[in-house]
Amino acid sequence: MTADHTVKNVVVAFGTRPEATKMAPVIEALDRQEGLRVTVLVTGQQREQLDSALAVFGLTPHADLNVMTERQTLSDLTGRIVPQAARKLRELQADMVLVHGDTTTTFCMAYAAFVEGVAVGHVEAGLRSGSMTEPFPEEANRKLTSVLTTLDFAPTSLSRDNLLREGKTPGGIFVTGQTAVDAVRAVAARAELRASWRGKRLVAVTMHRRENLPVMRELALALRDVALNHPERHFVYPVHLNPAVREAVTPVLSGLANFELTEPLAYDEMSALMAASDLLATDSGGLQEEGASLGVPVVVLRNVTERPEGVEAGVLRLAGTERAQVSRVLEALLSNEGELAHMRGRPNPYGDGQASERIARAVAWHFGLGKRPGDWQVASAAVHPS
């Protein structure tokens, strides 16, 4: 193969479902930039869930490290990804690697790129919960990644400020908005709600966080309490494939008439479910942004969030992880239509749907192709899609 050295090879690397959904619009935007060639490299940290997300966006990876094993530990994963990723980046002659967020794949890919002398661009840079134990190990992954990057794509000015506080230089930071906003709006607009959910008063639930595993039964019990109190509501919980999650929640939540446990949903079906729900209850990072972007209130089943913009804007409510407290927060909202409507009307603090375009232009700018894009300002996002 002869390489065209005037074209810059940007490798977009990821391994889990949420990384794929939030990188898909970035790949599309990079494809539209002249002078860049995009190569998609996946680790396969999550096999089924990643493949399902790739299918929704019609993406076929150029290279796949296929690292997942059953009940993998974080150090197993790290030990498999780093050397294979380094070899692959060399083979692909990468000029830049774009990583996303805070997974084990993110950090390992950034480290492999760093030791190979390849510039790293970090999408969703600068989120901080302030606690190394919540989310674990994501807070460490995102901080470790930040010290290895050349370009940082901070979704909001708050995340930019976090990076500046840690000594990153302003010239490499771009405030872009969240690419989750770009993805969820595009997909929800074309996705269809499952027929059996139409006309129901839906509450969508997800829980999978590692640090929540010890309290996941408690959280499930809280959801059970609330579901029993609200037979008029239909709860839908697509359960993560992690067997540890399944073992914790299934015995508590199966068998309730208005609580449906499903297999993981494809991203289009999930987007339609979220858009049609009155409330989301979740410990996921991404759902906080997706709820805010669709104008759906979110109860966050965690003690801290790295996405405080939504709490401040009034569309997110932090419920903690203790059974009685979680029940109280959910109960207060599900019995108060006025409060739910108020939360629904809050501005979206996470983006305007143009984050991917800004990222692609910033990458092009880095290679001397085009102008530096301006930063996104929250005021321009104060309207929900109709």
Residue nearest to ligand UD1 (CB): 103
User: Looking at 102, 218, 278, 283, which residue is catalytic?
Assistant: 102
Candidates 37, 210, 246, 328; binder of ligand UD1 (CB under 6 A) is 210
Active site residue 240: yes
User: How many binding residues for ligand UD1 (CB under 6 A)?
Assistant: 21
Q: Which is nearer to ligand UD1, 206 or 277 (CB)?
A: 206
Active site residue 323: no
Cβ(13)–Cβ(39) under 8 Å?
no
User: Looking at 19, 134, 138, 269, which residue is catalytic?
Assistant: 138
Active site residue 32: no
Residue 347 CB neighbours (<10 A): 16
Q: Which stretch binds ligand UD1 (CB under 6 A): 98-106, 162-170, 327-335, 355-363?
A: 98-106
Q: Is 137 in the site for ligand UD1 (CB under 6 A)?
A: yes
Q: Is 131 in the site for ligand UD1 (CB under 6 A)?
A: no
Structure tokens that stand for 331 in this block: 């109960």
Active site residue 124: yes
Q: Which stretch binds ligand UD1 (CB under 6 A): 69-77, 173-181, 267-275, 294-302?
A: 69-77
Candidates 9, 33, 43, 103; binder of ligand UD1 (CB under 6 A) is 103
Q: Which is nearer to ligand UD1, 142 or 366 (CB)?
A: 142
Q: Which is nearer to ligand UD1, 5 or 71 (CB)?
A: 71
Candidates 242, 250, 258, 303; binder of ligand UD1 (CB under 6 A) is 242
- Residue-wise burial string across 150-162, b where 16 or more C-beta atoms lie within 10 A, e elsewhere: ebbbbbbbbbbeb
Q: Which is nearer to ligand UD1, 17 or 233 (CB)?
A: 17
Q: Is 18 in the site for ligand UD1 (CB under 6 A)?
A: yes
Q: Which stretch binds ligand UD1 (CB under 6 A): 97-105, 214-222, 227-235, 287-295?
A: 97-105
Candidates 11, 14, 16, 173; binder of ligand UD1 (CB under 6 A) is 16
Of residues 29-48, those binding ligand UD1 (CB under 6 A): 45-48
Q: Which is nearer to ligand UD1, 51 or 225 (CB)?
A: 51
- The total number of residues written for the chain in this structure: 386
Q: Which stretch binds ligand UD1 (CB under 6 A): 100-108, 156-164, 266-274, 287-295?
A: 100-108
**Cβ of residue 113: shortest distance to ligand UD1, in angstroms?**
17
Geometric angle at alpha carbon 160, from 25 and 290, rounded to 5°: 40
Candidates 49, 129, 145, 179; binder of ligand UD1 (CB under 6 A) is 49
Residue 219 CB neighbours (<10 A): 26
Q: What letter represents residue 99's amino acid? A: V
Q: What is the CA radius of gyration of the chain?
A: 20
Active site residue 138: yes
Active site residue 208: yes
Q: Which is nearer to ligand UD1, 11 or 127 (CB)?
A: 127
> What is the rounded CA–CA span in Å between residue 210 and residue 301?
13
Q: Which is nearer to ligand UD1, 72 or 303 (CB)?
A: 72
Geometric angle at alpha carbon 230, from 342 and 194, rounded to 5°: 80
**Is the previous residue joined to 135 through a cis bond, with omega within 30 degrees of 0?**
yes
> What is the rounded CA–CA span in Å between residue 28 and residue 30?
6
Q: Which stretch binds ligand UD1 (CB under 6 A): 68-76, 92-100, 158-166, 254-262?
A: 68-76
Q: Which is nearer to ligand UD1, 95 or 268 (CB)?
A: 268
> What is the rounded CA–CA span in Å between residue 145 and residue 334?
39
* 299 CB-near residues (< 8 Å, 6+ apart): 279, 280, 281, 282, 316, 317, 319, 326, 329, 330, 333
Which residues are known catalytic residues?
A: 102, 124, 138, 208, 210, 240
User: Which residues contact ligand UD1 by CB under 6 A?
Assistant: 16-18, 45-49, 70-72, 74, 102-104, 137-138, 208, 210, 241-242
